[in-house]
Amino acid sequence: MRFQLLGPLSIAHGPETVVLKPSKPTSLLAALLLHPGTVVSTGYLLRAVWDEEPPATARAALQTCVLRLRRLFAKYGISATTIEAVPGGYRMRNDTETLDLALFRFLTAQARAAAGTPEELYRLREALSLWQGQPLSNVASGMLQRDAVPALEQERLLVLERVCDLELAAGNCHQVLVDLYEGARHRPVRERFTEQLVEALYRTGRQAEALAEYRTVRERLRDELGVDPGPGLRRLELAILRAEELGPAARPPGPEPTQPHAASALAVRDRGRAAAGPAGPPPVPGFAGRAADLRALAGRLTDPGGPRLLVVSGAPGIGKSALARQSAYEIRAAFPGGVSAVDLTRPDGSPLDTGEARALLPAPGGGGRRLLLLDNAAGAGQVLPLLPETGGATVLVTSRRALAAVVATHGGFVHRLDVLSPAEAQDLLAGLVGAERIAAEEPAARELAAVCGWFPLALRIAAGRLLTRPGLSVADCAAWLAADPPGRLALAEDPRLSVPEVLGRAVGALPPELRGAFLLLGSLEPGSGPATAVEESVLEQLVEAGMLEDGPPGEPYRIHAFLRGYARWLARDRAGAAALLPG
């Protein structure tokens, strides 16, 4: 169970999210959640619920609101003592496990501690992913809308500005354009967003658009406020008009992620100095194992006579993106022209269309051999139109599909990824949770890895549960997950860390015939050949979709035990499966 403030006020209960209706109890709950773990005075609560003119009976009505909330909590299995009556007011003891606002602030604190390292950007991105829209949009309290909502939005904007500064410093100008357009359009008086947007457009060769953005905000500031843009924007305009080359964006100072107004370096490069290539994706936090896979990718990608196209394919959640990004980071020195990464999916998991993907591709450069990672490709139809736009770069693609149509027409190599070995799974858990904690319960850790099917996605979710529950033993965690692995391997705050979400989208994208075949395969006993129950043409399509594997001679096909368990989990509740898998 989790309370969610960073969007409509809601209660996430298992796979369900209940958005509360605007009411006085909803306003009361919002006022309490905004101050987790602290006593909120009765006077403050009265003003939050009734604004500035509470009725004479307000104190008694406040107790009624508390009673109504406790009844609502009981409906979702939340203890009535979650709201404590204390002298002078009420208190709710929420933490990172039960309140998204608490988790957001915890992640930004982690980012401050990791300032100057790749971990900082990773944590800030993780924090921003918790936001689901306008905070408290269903809360009717005028006081909270006037005072609390702008303060919450300010916290988000400071983090977003910091993220954009870090991305610009890393050379990832294309990746932040969507965020910067949104910030500059909706908050023109917040000049830093416009400054970042103008800089990003100019660095990607779109100087006319950069000047147009500057002049739009200049006219708006003059018309609405009677002021000119600040010195940072004016320096940028002058650099563009002079056609000056901007030096590499300086990494913004730390440790505070709330220091986004430090201007990017605008020093002009010395004539003749070679352009610095993009920094590329950072190392994957907690990455472990895959030594043979890393060697294979490095050997093919860095070989001057090797393929210019390489596809990493495999089942959903098996770690394709992590392997590709770690490999790109480790071999970045072999690509003096730069390493770039483009995610071909939106945050909700839906694929980008061709126009959106093209807009994110880096401009071709002349600084030497380049590597381009196209991550999370939905299929050949998404990749083929992009290849002519890559400017001769070596292209690394990750996809559940093997993309046979791509390698058949453009050449290349397909690297099929399998689950981690038991030892690698142990190493991943140790790297994420802590070596001492895993070593202290080594047999339980092996059991936990087995429950997770040695799938990196499932292992990271289990590690997240252990990290947020320091008192939870590895053995208890393994036992709890073993009772319902597909259903319980989910972190409510992020659909990308949810087995039902990730695998549900993968199965839901299959045509009905393949979907039915996948559910049928789940009903087979381990060791029985899929070919005895399903036609070979259907099995081949399931292999291409990443839901089935080619096996050794004598057993042409096999299904991962973890995917078999997920298929059984779906098949147990046909109504639930029908709702999850549309079409």
CATH of the domain at 38: 1.10.10.10
Whether 365 shows a pLDDT value over 80: the answer reads no
Tokens representing 429? 């858990």
Residue 450 CB partners (closer than 8 Å, separation 6+) = 422
Kindly state whether residue 309 falls inside one of the protein's structural domains. yes
- Reported as a single tens digit per residue, the pLDDT across 11-23 is 987 677 889 999 9
Kindly state whether residue 125 falls inside one of the protein's structural domains. yes
- Reported as a single tens digit per residue, the pLDDT across 379-429 is 888 999 998 888 888 999 999 988 888 888 888 889 999 999 999 999 889
pLDDT at 13: 76
Please indicate whether residue 252 or residue 181 has the higher confidence score (pLDDT). 181
Which pLDDT band holds residue 555 (cuts at 50, 70, 90)? Answer: low
Q: 155 and 47, same structural domain?
A: no
CA within 13 Å, CB half, 576: 14
Tokens representing 423? 């030892």
Looking at residues 236-253, what average pLDDT do you find?
A: 67
Q: 186 and 295, same structural domain?
A: no
E strand or H helix that includes residue 415: strand 413-416
Q: How, if at all, do strands 557-558 and 549-550 pair?
A: antiparallel
Please indicate whether residue 207 or residue 264 has the higher confidence score (pLDDT). 207
Considering 416, 442, 477, which residue would you say is the last residue of a domain? 416
pLDDT at 575: 43
Whether 522 shows a pLDDT value over 50: the answer reads yes
pLDDT at 272: 25
Report the CATH number at residue 161.
1.25.40.10
- In contact, 313 and 399? CB cutoff 8 Å: yes
Which pLDDT band holds residue 549 (cuts at 50, 70, 90)? Answer: confident
- Reported as a single tens digit per residue, the pLDDT across 25-39 is 999 999 999 988 888
Whether 374 shows a pLDDT value over 90: the answer reads yes
Looking at residues 558-574, what average pLDDT do you find?
A: 81
pLDDT at 578: 47
pLDDT at 248: 57
Closest Cα to residue 215, out of 243, 232, 242, 194? 194
Tokens representing 562? 């973890």
Q: 309 and 393, same structural domain?
A: yes
pLDDT at 366: 60
pTM of the model: 0.53
Q: 228 and 333, same structural domain?
A: no
Residue 140 CB partners (closer than 8 Å, separation 6+) = 22, 23, 26, 27
pLDDT at 318: 92
Whether 324 shows a pLDDT value over 90: the answer reads yes
Q: What percent of the chain is modeled with pLDDT above 70?
A: 86
E strand or H helix that includes residue 214: helix 207-225
Q: 483 and 552, same structural domain?
A: no
Q: 199 and 117, same structural domain?
A: yes
Q: What percent of the chain is modeled with pLDDT above 90?
A: 19
Whether 118 shows a pLDDT value over 60: the answer reads yes
Contacts 24+ apart (CB under 8 A), 213-219: 213/184, 214/240, 216/188, 217/184, 217/188, 217/191
Q: 342 and 231, same structural domain?
A: no
Kindly state whether residue 276 falls inside one of the protein's structural domains. no
Q: Hey, is 81 helix, strand or coil?
A: helix
Looking at residues 489-507, what average pLDDT do you find?
A: 77
Q: 207 and 303, same structural domain?
A: no
Q: 116 and 81, same structural domain?
A: no
Report the CATH number at residue 358.
3.40.50.300
- In contact, 527 and 533? CB cutoff 8 Å: no
pLDDT at 26: 92
Q: 120 and 62, same structural domain?
A: no
pLDDT at 533: 63
Q: Which segments of 158-215 are extended strands (E)? A: none
Q: 228 and 126, same structural domain?
A: yes
- Of the listed ranges 122-131, 209-218, 242-251, the one predicted with least confidence: 242-251
- Reported as a single tens digit per residue, the pLDDT across 466-491 is 887 878 899 999 999 998 888 888 87
Q: 19 and 47, same structural domain?
A: yes
pLDDT at 31: 92
Whether 289 shows a pLDDT value over 90: the answer reads no
Considering 49, 73, 99, which residue would you say is the last residue of a domain? 99
Q: Residue 80 sits in which domain range? A: 2-99
Tokens representing 63? 């107790």
pLDDT at 52: 66
pLDDT at 443: 93
Kindly state whether residue 110 falls inside one of the protein's structural domains. yes
Kindly state whether residue 252 falls inside one of the protein's structural domains. no
Vertex 499 angle, CA 497 and 504, to 5°: 120
Kindly state whether residue 54 falls inside one of the protein's structural domains. yes
Domain count, the chain: 5
Considering 56, 83, 99, which residue would you say is the last residue of a domain? 99
Kindly state whether residue 200 falls inside one of the protein's structural domains. yes
Kindly state whether residue 246 falls inside one of the protein's structural domains. no
Q: What is the mean pLDDT of the chain?
A: 81
pLDDT at 253: 53
